[in-house]
Amino acid sequence: MDENRISSGIQGIDEMLYGGIISGHIIGVVGPAGSGKTLISLQFLHSCLKQGKKCLYISANHNEKELIKNSRIYGWDFEPFINNKLLDLNSLEPVLTSKFLDELPIIVSKIKTDIVIVDPVTDFLLLCQDEIESRSRLFNLFKIIKEYRATALITAESDVDSSSTKSGIIEYAVDGLFINRRIQSADMNEIMHVIQIAKMRWTKHIREIRQYDFTDKGIEVYSKYNVLLGDTSETKRK
């Protein structure tokens, strides 16, 4: 892989990016509840750790024990990386009050890492009084990440019926944006998950909507999708 690129840990996404995530980029992953934001972030985390990168993972809705235990289901064991100090796993779940607003940038600025992951940043923005505060707090957080030249993945919730976040700020602030959506198959029998790279500054990327699935090894993004026929068998990677 190009030394300026970092694998997302998901082969189908790396393909859509003609390589991987550009080092130093802040990537937003936007999607409704249950669309795989946490899994994408954990899969990226595990892949970065395997590449020897120092990582900071901040969860706003799962505690550390829960994350470590459930990640094992997919074959991702984070404990050795915590023990050898390659991974700093933080849960901000107990401080989901206005303290969160100050706590998040403090943690990011104290722990200098190659990779910063925040899942999700939604509450951080919801706790702000107004749009001006959300913008300034988010831009300040991103400024800290950029100062350290870290590469970041930030998830955010979108409404089920829309592909954008409530505030819409994340979409503008990030360098790259993955949008996860749920759609119904033509025969109405199946709900399918699709992903699109809506933007990726400074590089070309595939704009097609691609289907993905949840597997016992995490997220798998297929090379094409065929929703209109309601038949994905021909298009799946395997």
Under the rule (CB under 6 A), what is the footprint of ligand ATP? 31, 33-39, 61, 157, 214, 216
71 belongs to the binding site for Mg ion (CB under 5 A): no
- The site partner of 23 among Mg ion, ligand ATP, none (C-beta below 5 to 8 Å per kind) is none
DSSP calls for the chain: --TTEE--S-HHHHHHTTSSEETT-EEEEEE-TTSSHHHHHHHHHHHHHHTT--EEEEESSS-HHHHHHHHGGGT---HHHHHTTSEEEEE-GGGTTTHHHHHHHHHHHHS--SEEEEE--HHHHHTSSSHHHHHHHHHHHHHHHHHTT-EEEEEEEB-TT-SSBSS-HHHHHSSEEEEEEEEE-TTSS-EEEEEEEEEETTS----S-EEEEEETTEEEE-S---GGGT--TTTS--
Question: How many residues of this chain bind Mg ion (CB under 5 A)?
Answer: 2
Please state the closest distance from residue 25 (CB atom) to ligand ATP, in A: 21
Q: In terms of CB distance, is 61 or 196 closer to ligand ATP?
A: 61
For ligand ATP, which is the closer residue by CB, 160 or 229? Answer: 160
Minimum distance from residue 61 beta carbon to ligand ATP (Å): 6
Least distance (Å) from Mg ion to the CB of residue 118?
11
Which lies closer to Mg ion via its Cβ, residue 47 or residue 155? 155
Shortest gap between Cβ of 48 and ligand ATP (angstroms)? 17
Site for Mg ion in 35-64 (CB under 5 A): 37-38
Closer residue to Mg ion (CB): 114 or 119: 119
Closer to ligand ATP at the Cβ: 39 or 115? 39
List contacts with Mg ion (CB under 5 A). Answer: 37-38
